[in-house]
Amino acid sequence: MTQIGNLKTAALEKSSHLEYFKIAVSVDCVIFGYEEKELKVLLIKSDLKEFASLYSLLGDLVRPDEDLDEASYRILKERTDLDDVYLQQVHTFGAVKRHPSGRVVSTAYYSLININSHKLKIDNNDLHWHPVQTIGKLAFDHKEILNTCLEHLRGQIEEHPVVHNLLNEKFSLRELQELYEAILATTLDRRNFRKKITIKKWLVDLNEMEDNVSHRPGKLYRFNKKHLK
């Protein structure tokens, strides 16, 4: 049986490890969108002198009175005015010198949104969409965070229809393949792609055809809502 008398108090634990209780916590939001056949991510100009002229992800410190999830939604709202986005926790980054102000441990969240149906507050530190494939150096370790979330996304699209947030409600198989190619940064065989998608039974044939297109019209589909749950 545990001896209560041998237990230390929380106050004693803190007083004997003061340096451990001086580590800051932050969150970084990786918001992916899709436009003009390119996978894009929301970036903002860094407001730190050490990273002058560099872009960063949407992030900030977690307040003493909020948890991680609350902080991620607050920061996204403050930076973009978006409040109808689902954020998923991906990974935590804790390199000792990742922040010039001191020890900061950051948890990354990511989301996929339809650029055309979400209006951003674009008056904040040059906030805008950047093609993922053209992004160079970012502030902090944000390039590593971005790459980690991108690999997470690439893994998810193989098993789950998460890309539905990036497309219009109705789409052709050609448009769906172009989206997959943008995310995976590779060209896919048309026949193999359609076979794999058909096997998964994610799509519903709408018995409609594309219109006002410069190529041969294709059939239109939507995602089966039971798989989106």
pLDDT digits (tens, 9 = 90+) for 146-187: 999 999 999 999 999 999 999 999 999 999 999 999 999 999
Residues 63-89, mean pLDDT to the nearest whole number: 94
Strand intervals (E) in the chain: 24-35, 38-45, 55-56, 58-61, 88-93, 104-112, 128-131, 171-172, 203-209, 219-223
The stretch 179-201 carries a mean pLDDT of: 96
pLDDT at 12: 87
Averaged pLDDT, 127-148: 97
Mean pLDDT (the chain, rounded): 92
User: Cα separations (Å) of 209 from 146, 169, 172, 201?
Assistant: 37, 14, 8, 20
CA atoms within 13 A on the CB side of 118: 28
pLDDT, average across residues 200-215: 87
pLDDT for 1 = 46
Which stretch of 131-140, 163-172, 208-217 has the lowest confidence by average pLDDT? 208-217
| pLDDT over 90 at 56, yes or no | yes
pLDDT (0 to 100) of residue 122: 67
* Domains of the chain, residue spans: 18-159, 168-228
- The pLDDT, as a whole number, for residue 17 is 81
Token pair belonging to 132: 């993922």
Quote the radius of gyration of the chain (alpha carbons, Å): 22
CATH class of 18-159: alpha beta
Residue that wins the pLDDT comparison between 41 and 2: 41
Instruction: Judge if 18-159 and 168-228 fold alike in CATH terms.
Output: no
Do the Cβ atoms of 42 and 122 come closer than 8 Å?
no
CATH for 168-228 (1.10.10.10, 3.40.50.720, 1.10.510.10, 3.40.30.10): 1.10.10.10
| pLDDT at 43 exceeding the cut of 80 | yes
Instruction: Tell me the mean pLDDT in the region 67-78.
Output: 95
pLDDT at 18: 83
**Residues 205-209, mean pLDDT to the nearest whole number:** 93
The pLDDT confidence band at residue 16, using thresholds 50, 70 and 90, is: confident
Q: Residue 210: what pLDDT?
A: 78
User: Over 50: is that where the pLDDT of 29 sits?
Assistant: yes
Number of H helices, E strands in the chain: 6, 10
- The pTM of the full predicted model, rounded to 2 decimals, is 0.91
